[in-house]
Amino acid sequence: MRGQPRNNHMKVFVWIFLFVTSLHAIEFSETLAKNIQSYIKPLLEKNLAQKTQRSQPRLGIEFSVSENQMNFFLSRRSQRDTLFSVVVRKEQQTLDTNAVVLYPEEKQIIKSALRIFISEYNANETIIVGPIAWGISKKGVCNLYVEPRDEAGDNLASQLAFGTPLLILESNEDNTFFRVQGCSDGYLGWINSRDFRFVTQDHWDEWNASVVTCNTKEIMLKNMAIPAGGRFALLSYKGKTIHVRDFANNKWEFAKEDFSMYLSQQEKIIDTARKFLPKSLLATQKYLWGGTTTPQTDCSGFVQLTYRMHNILLPRDSDQQYQYSKKIKLENAQSGDLIFFSKHGKHPTHVGLHIDNDLFIHCSASGPYSGVKINSLSGESDYEKYLRKIYYASGRIK
């Protein structure tokens, strides 16, 4: 009887020895990381296609490997599409996996990949899924950045209109910036904490369900200008007047015609687009990289804003809009269809709206002036010859 405890101790010792030996037998190598990368990439792309209704979205999945750690993360370009970061680390006698993802399906993809490619995988797992909080943008125009810093230029990813519902995903170390997903187009980026307000999920759900957007004309809330695309909840309307409230429950009265939900059925996409043409070459409506609302937009921001005025929500960037649209031949293009251009032929880098014949309206920094303009694919100016040369495809919003 006295020998039994000794046998039990021996079994425990052998089990620990085998576990530690098996843990040290796991080698983190570039080959292992590439195998995991090759497994998860098509599954993440398929899931993204289902979530966004875009055809064949492409994700850049990158990795780094050391003796005791593997990191998997999105390329800079793909960080606009989803949230995906995985760290697998060997810690003495344990294997730890920490990850942050946007969708529940991405969590399962991670777990499956690690179990398939790491022998006897048994780790302490911490995988955070989806939003950690909810918010609503509170400025007339809120900048959305690639990196968490107040710098525009190449760092300006997009913009958010007043009242845009936000999913809060993560923060930087001092909580001055938060990574968010804007619910108008699903675009991800970093926003300054002063530019949005935290709300409860119930408040967020209510706000996201019933909104109207202001038309191409700016409206004023006290001393703050609200450009096209601002969101308000409808309270009532009578005659030429509309009563709305903002996300903070302040009530406002405006002219009914200032809200796009009252655009007549006869008003076409192109009619709305033409309203953004400058009244003169001195107008402030110029091209702005990352801009999505008046007075300054980029090419895809202009297309997105025009459609949003008709309560049709498009993805943010030109290549995403291409993936979202149904491909058509140029000769079959109709008024309001999308026309794409590419500087390198790999994917669209510019987009406009087809008018008729060879005419299209778009926003660009080039040409006779910076801003919204009408050009022709059969035009004879050097700029129009260049556009004809880089024409890529045409698409119709399904």
pTM of the model: 0.89
Looking at the chain, the whole-number percentage of residues with pLDDT higher than 90 is 79
Residue 19, pLDDT > 50, answer no
Q: Does 146 have pLDDT greater than 90?
A: yes
**Residue 157 corresponds to which tokens in the numbers above?**
């990813």
- 217 pLDDT band, cuts 50/70/90, is confident
Q: What is the pLDDT of residue 294?
A: 85
pLDDT value of position 396: 97
Name the catalytic one among 214, 350, 354, 363: 350
Question: Which of 142, 183, 299, 363 is labelled catalytic?
Answer: 299
Span 131-154, average pLDDT: 96
Q: What is the pLDDT of residue 212?
A: 87
Q: What pLDDT is stored for residue 233 in this prediction? A: 93
Decide: residue 31, CB within 10 A, 0-12 exposed, 13-18 middle, 19+ buried.
exposed
| Residue 10: pLDDT over 90 | no
pLDDT band at residue 18 under the 50/70/90 scheme: very low
Q: Which residue matches tokens 């429950």?
A: 249
| 152-170 b/e (C-beta count within 10 Å ≥ 16 → b) | eeebbbbbbbbbbbbbbbb
Q: Give the pLDDT of residue 221.
A: 92
- Residue 203 tokens read as 């408040």
pLDDT per position as a tens digit, 307-337:
998 889 999 999 999 999 999 999 999 999 9
Looking at the predicted structure, is the pLDDT value of residue 67 above 50?
yes
Give ∠ CA 241-244-246 in degrees, rounded to 5.
150
pLDDT for 257? 86
The reported pLDDT for the residue numbered 3 is 47
The 3 state secondary structure assigned to the chain is CCHHHHHHHHHHHHHHHHHHHHHHHCCCCHHHHHHHHHHHHHHHHHHHHHHHCCCCCCCCEEEEECCCEEEEEECCHHHHCCCEEEEEEEECCEEEEEEEECCHHHHHHHHHHHHHHCCCCCCEEEEEECCCEEEEECCCEEEEECCCCCCCHHHEEEEEECCCEEEEEEECCCCCEEEEEECCCCCEEEEEHHHEEEECHHHHHHHHHCCEEECCCCEEECCEEECCCCEEEEEEEECCEEEEECCCCCEEEEEHHHEHHHCCCCCCHHHHHHCCCCCCCCCCCCECCCCEECCEECHHHHHHHHHHCCCCCCCCCHHHHHHHCEEECHHHCCCCCEEEECCCCCCCCEEEEEEECCEEEEEECCCCCCEEEEEECCCCCHHHHHHHHCEEEEEECC
User: Model confidence at 1, in pLDDT bands (50, 70, 90)?
Assistant: very low
Contact 146, 190 (CB under 8 A): yes
In terms of phi and psi (left: phi > 0; alpha: psi -120 to 50; beta: otherwise), the region of 219 is beta
Confidence of residue 125 (pLDDT cuts 50, 70, 90): very high
| pLDDT score recorded for residue 283 | 62
Residue 102 makes CB contacts below 8 A (sequence gap 6+) with: 82, 83, 84, 129, 130, 169, 181, 188
Among the residue ranges 9-13, 66-70, 139-143, 283-287, the one predicted with the least confidence is 9-13
Could you read off the pLDDT of 256-315 as tens digits, one per residue?
988 877 666 567 899 999 999 988 665 667 899 999 998 899 999 999 999 998 889 999
State the residue for tokens 């797992």. 125
Write down the residue that tokens 């101790």 correspond to. 9
Instruction: List C-alpha distances in Å: 214 to 19, 89, 127, 140.
Output: 63, 50, 40, 12
Task: Decide if 362 is catalytic.
Answer: yes
Q: What is the pLDDT of residues 170-204, one digit of tens each?
A: 999 999 999 999 999 999 999 999 999 999 999 99
**For helices 104-117 and 30-52, what crossing angle results, to 10°?**
160
Q: Is 90 exceeded by the pLDDT of residue 14? A: no
Distances (CA, A) of 242 to 207, 239, 310, 358, 373: 18, 8, 18, 40, 32
Find out whether 325 and 397 touch, Cβ atoms under 8 Å. Answer: yes
| Domains by residue range for the chain, with CATH | 8-129 (no CATH), 133-262 (2.30.30.40), 269-396 (3.90.1720.10)
Residues 342-368, mean pLDDT to the nearest whole number: 97
In this structure, what token pair is assigned to residue 260? 């796009």
Specify the pLDDT at position 193.
98
Query: Is 24 a known active-site residue?
Result: no
For 75, how many CA atoms within 13 A lie in the half-sphere containing its CB? 9
pLDDT band at 206 (very low <50, low <70, confident <90, very high): very high
Is 9 considered catalytic here? no
The amino acid that residue 279 corresponds to is: K
Q: 36 to each of 50, 109, 113, 181, how far by Cα in Å? A: 22, 10, 6, 27
Structure token digits, residue 51 = 């979530």
pLDDT of residue 21: 44
What does the mean pLDDT of the chain come to? 91
Amino acid 394: pLDDT: 98
